[in-house]
Amino acid sequence: MIRDWTRGEFAVCDGEGERETEAGIVRGAFGIFSLGGEGRSASWSYLIHIPTGQPLALFADEALAMSAANVLEPLDDWSADILADVASGTAALVGAGFYTTGQHDGPSHVWDRPAAGAA
């Protein structure tokens, strides 16, 4: 069941395993926060698994992260753990037209998707 996104705060694990609170949007087990500013030319958005605080993927913008959550949500329960079969999540994103770009934030590559109707 796909619900509406609402504003909220959630904990996110950083690279050292420490938790930081981020403000963004939430829906079920998913949270999204944007990295806008910080000297970046783009406003990239992380899709987070709220129960674990683990980043699932980094997207070119918030709308793409929301779209990716729609693709990933039906693959599992998500209430406690992240997707055990990461390859199936990656395959679902690729099947929905997402691809990784050459851009990255640390070890996280940015996912994008062509605009509707683009060749």
pLDDT of 21: 92
Residue 32 within any structural domain of the chain:
yes
Residue 92 within any structural domain of the chain:
yes
What domain range is 102 assigned to?
6-112
Q: How far apart are the C-alpha atoms of 66 and 79, rounded to whole Å?
A: 18
Residue 1 within any structural domain of the chain:
no
Residue 118 within any structural domain of the chain:
no
- Tell me how long the chain is: 119
Residue 103 within any structural domain of the chain:
yes
Q: In the chain, which residues have pLDDT < 50? A: 1, 117-119
Residue 42 within any structural domain of the chain:
yes
Q: How many domains does the chain have?
A: 1
pLDDT of 1: 46
State the Cα torsion 84-92-70-48 to the nearest 10°: 40
Report which of 19, 15, 40 is spatially closest to residue 31, judged by C-alpha positions: 19
Q: How far apart are the C-alpha atoms of 69 and 63, rounded to whole Å?
A: 10
pLDDT of 79: 85
